[in-house]
Structure formats: C-alpha cells, structure tokens
Amino acid sequence: MSALALRSVQRETSGLLAACAAHGYRIAIRDARTPLQAPDFASTPLRRFVANVCTVEVRHAEAQFWQLARACGADAVIDRFETPDIASTYRMPHERCAGTALVWLAHLQTHDGDRRGPWECWSGLSRPRKAAWLRRRRELLHGLLRAAAEYRAARAALVQGGGQ
C-alpha cells in the first residue's frame, strides 16, 4: 500500500472513530456506508441479473459492515451468535431490495427443480396438481419480477439522488 493510500485510510478511520465516540457505533457505521458503483446489465436475462448483481450488492453490504465495525472496534461488542444477521440491519434501501430479489429467485429456482433436474416429480403429478404447480410458479415469477423492478428503481433513485 502506498503512503498516500495509507494516509487516506488513516484519515477515514480517524473520522469513523470520532463519529463512533460522538454518536455511537450504530450511527457511525450507518453514516459511513457507501454504495457500490452502479452495475450496467440492462440486457442481461432476469435470473442472471438477480443472481449476479444482487449477490454482489448483498455481499458488499455485509463485508463493508464488518470492515467498518472492525475499524471502530465495534466487532468486539457485537455478539454474532445472538444476532447472526446483524449486517442486514445496516443495508441501504437498494441492498435490502437486492436481498429480497435473491430470496424470490431462490424460491423460484427451487420450485423449478420439481419440473426439471435430478429430483423432478412433474411427471408423476396429476392434472390438478400440475395446474396448482403452474399457478405457484407464476406467483413466484411475478414476485421475482416485482423484486427486481424494486431493486432497479431503488438503485436509480440512489444514482439520481447523488448517493453514488
């Protein structure tokens, strides 16, 4: 690491420490969070977009939370067993939307496994059960579409608001 980069990191850390002392680590970490650069995957298929972009958003949120928590010494007071998903409470709105889209994608992918794949049970279903399966798939697909649209809208609001 160059001397210039080291000084920049030290300056950021000292600012974070001062904010922790003044307001507490919860507010300091929330204020110090920064978003990722806006991804440009307009022509990517929906499932691939959600799997790639939303996963990166969620991982960035968690990694940055723990990095900031370590920098201000808060990781020593956070009990990971009592609150194992504490990093999710510090997500920005677009990161929360990304997490929701990932959940919808996981449910849809699991549901589609009933029709194709090594554990398929589609061929043994009766007509009414196939119809119910298709209705549920439609619900899951529409949920994924809504969640992806909410993520894109939250991301666009972040970019327009100057948060990036």
Q: What is the pTM of this model?
A: 0.81
Query: Given this model, what pLDDT does residue 99 score?
Result: 96
Q: Specify the number of domains making up the chain.
A: 1
Query: Given this model, what pLDDT does residue 23 score?
Result: 60
Does residue 162 register a pLDDT over 90?
no
Q: Supply the range of the domain harboring residue 109.
A: 3-160
The model's pLDDT over 1-16, given as tens digits with 9 standing for 90+, comes to 444 343 444 445 556 6
The model's pLDDT over 10-54, given as tens digits with 9 standing for 90+, comes to 445 556 666 666 666 778 888 888 898 876 777 889 999 999 999
Query: Given this model, what pLDDT does residue 3 score?
Result: 42
Q: How many residues does the chain have?
A: 164
Q: Are 27 and 19 in contact (CB under 8 A)?
A: yes
Single-letter amino acid code for the residue at 115 = R
The model's pLDDT over 55-68, given as tens digits with 9 standing for 90+, comes to 999 999 999 998 98
- Report residue 71's pLDDT band, with 50, 70 and 90 as the boundaries: confident
What integer is the mean pLDDT of 133-139?
97
For residues 141 and 145, give the distance between their C-alpha atoms in angstroms, rounded to a whole number. Answer: 6
